[in-house]
């Protein structure tokens, strides 16, 4: 099946209230335009270099989510236009995002990337680290970022029960952070979880954003 059919099939079964990020990493602008012409505007990239190469070639009303590990020295390149940085995983990075956002007179939305997998290799914060950030005076003084919720990646496994537990853990973390730090902040509302292989489980466990690449665009080279 082609990209358009894949997209339409997923869009049809995905509940309306769940946002779909089409993960376009490694895909060329032609593939992105194919979905844009169907009315889809939210795309995800995981490398700053690749994103800043594509962004100027594509319509300005595309909403770009940054979903990969972001080095502080790359923030300045995406700060003028990025819509949501889903992978904020340190106070240092948030501080740089805040600084670059201020230069462009913007408030940049971010998600805290949480560590939920049982693999050493995945990035992300523990609940304690997230609490320490949100408690810090440095964070409280940041006027040019807005934390909208959490993001996480489940383990790469066929064990659906384990994936479900990890997503459930992320939902618990979200609710704890919400009640402790954002009880009166309506904009803290997003749980980004679920990829091509596990998004249906993620939706059942309360995802508000799913990030789907290969199930739309086909296997990456
Ligand atoms: C690549 C990627 C995805 C999408 O992966 P697929 O399995 O192709 O759907 C989602 N989230 C992140 C953080 C990614 O890097």
| Cross-strand pairs, 150 | 112, 191
Query: Two tokens at 21?
Result: 């990020």
Distance between alpha carbon 34 and the CA centroid of its chain, in Å?
22
Closest atom of ligand 1 to 21 CA is: 10
Count: domains in the chain:
1
Walking along the chain (221 residues) 10 residues at a time, the average pLDDT comes out as 94 97 98 98 98 98 98 98 98 98 98 89 90 98 98 95 97 98 97 98 98 96 78
Show the domain range for 95.
3-217
Residue nearest to atom 6 of ligand 1 (CA): 213
CB 214 near ligand 1, within 6 Å: yes
CB 122 near ligand 1, within 6 Å: no
CB 68 near ligand 1, within 6 Å: yes
CA angle centred on 180, ends 175 and 181, rounded to 5°:
100
**Residues 6 or more apart in contact with residue 121 via CB below 8 angstroms:** none
Residue 123: the pLDDT is 85
CATH of the domain at 28: 3.20.20.10
Residue 72: the pLDDT is 98
> Which of 46, 113, 216, 218, when mutated, tests ligand 1's pocket best, judged by the most ligand atoms within 8 Å of its CB?
46
C-alpha count within 13 angstroms, C-beta hemisphere, residue 102: 10
Count of residues making up the chain:
221
Residue 142: the pLDDT is 98
Residue 119: the pLDDT is 73
CA angle centred on 65, ends 62 and 69, rounded to 5°:
150
Residue 221: the pLDDT is 78
């Amino acid at each position: 099946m082609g990209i358009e059919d894949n997209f339409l099939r997923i869009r049809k079964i995905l509940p309306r209230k769940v946002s779909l990020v089409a993960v376009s990493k490694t895909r060329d602008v032609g593939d992105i335009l194919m979905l844009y012409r169907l009315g889809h505007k939210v795309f995800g990239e995981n490398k700053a270099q690749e994103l800043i190469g594509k962004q100027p070639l594509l319509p300005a009303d595309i909403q770009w989510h940054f979903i990969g590990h972001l080095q502080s020295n790359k923030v300045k390149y995406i700060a003028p236009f990025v819509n949501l940085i889903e992978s904020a995983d340190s106070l240092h990075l948030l501080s740089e995002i805040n600084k670059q956002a201020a230069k462009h007179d913007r408030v940049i939305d971010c998600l805290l990337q949480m560590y939920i997998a049982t693999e050493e290799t995945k990035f992300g914060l523990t609940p304690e680290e997230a609490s320490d950030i949100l408690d810090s005076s440095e964070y409280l003084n940041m006027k040019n970022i807005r934390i909208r919720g959490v993001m996480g990646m489940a383990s790469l496994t066929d064990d659906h029960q384990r994936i479900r537990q990890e997503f459930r853990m992320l939902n618990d973390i979200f609710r704890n952070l919400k009640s402790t730090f954002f009880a009166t902040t309506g904009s803290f509302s997003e749980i980004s979880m679920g990829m091509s292989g596990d998004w249906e489980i993620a939706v059942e466990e309360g995802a508000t954003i799913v990030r789907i690449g290969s199930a739309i665009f086909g296997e990456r080279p």
